[in-house]
């Protein structure tokens, strides 16, 4: 008889089960649901990828700006670049040979 008196009622058992179910449901929702942990991790990875891409583009841009500045200020660099493109001075004859295979 003592066991039956200390036992919670069916209503309380159902209430506890329902509370546990709600807590588990909320936990699963925060992990897999919209705006959950997995989406947050994916967004952080995308942000990191974009940051790396921006840094690479900045470096490329700086290299090109240095190249432009060198072409503007250094006549030797300008002449070398022009010769690579196939140009020559006014009294020069430029012969272009086909590349060897």
With respect to residue 89, please indicate whether it lies within any of the assigned structural domains. Answer: no
Whether the predicted pLDDT of 45 surpasses 80: yes
How far apart, in whole angstroms, are the C-alpha atoms of residue 63 and residue 55?
12
With respect to residue 48, please indicate whether it lies within any of the assigned structural domains. Answer: yes
Full 3-state SS string of 32-69:
HCCCCHHHHHHHHHHHHHHHHHHHHHHHHHHHHHHHHH
Whether the predicted pLDDT of 77 surpasses 60: yes
Higher pLDDT, 58 or 33: 58
| Confidence at 33, pLDDT banded by 50, 70, 90 | confident
With respect to residue 60, please indicate whether it lies within any of the assigned structural domains. Answer: yes
Burial grade of 93 (CB within 10 A; 0-12, 13-18, 19 or more): exposed
Give the pLDDT confidence score for residue 1 in this predicted structure: 47
Q: Which pair of tokens denotes residue 63?
A: 């290299």
How far apart, in whole angstroms, are the C-alpha atoms of residue 101 and residue 68?
33
Whether the predicted pLDDT of 53 surpasses 90: yes
Q: Please state, as a whole number, how many other Cβ atoms lie within 10 Å of the Cβ of residue 57.
A: 10
pLDDT in tens, 12-21: 889 999 999 9
With respect to residue 99, please indicate whether it lies within any of the assigned structural domains. Answer: no
Domain count, the chain: 1
Please answer whether residues 39 and 45 qualify as being in contact, where contact means their C-beta atoms are separated by less than 8 angstroms: no
Owning domain of residue 22? 7-84
């Amino acid at each position: 008889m003592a066991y039956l008196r200390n036992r919670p009622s069916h209503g309380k058992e159902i209430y506890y089960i329902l509370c546990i179910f709600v807590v588990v449901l909320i936990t699963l929702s925060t992990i897999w649901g919209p705006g959950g942990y997995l989406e947050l991790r994916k967004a952080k990875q995308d942000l990191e990828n974009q940051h790396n891409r921006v840094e690479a583009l900045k470096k490329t841009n700086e290299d090109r700006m240095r190249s432009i500045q060198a072409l503007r200020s250094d006549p030797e660099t300008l002449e070398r670049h022009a010769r690579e493109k196939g140009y020559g001075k006014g009294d020069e004859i430029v012969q272009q040979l086909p590349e060897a295979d």
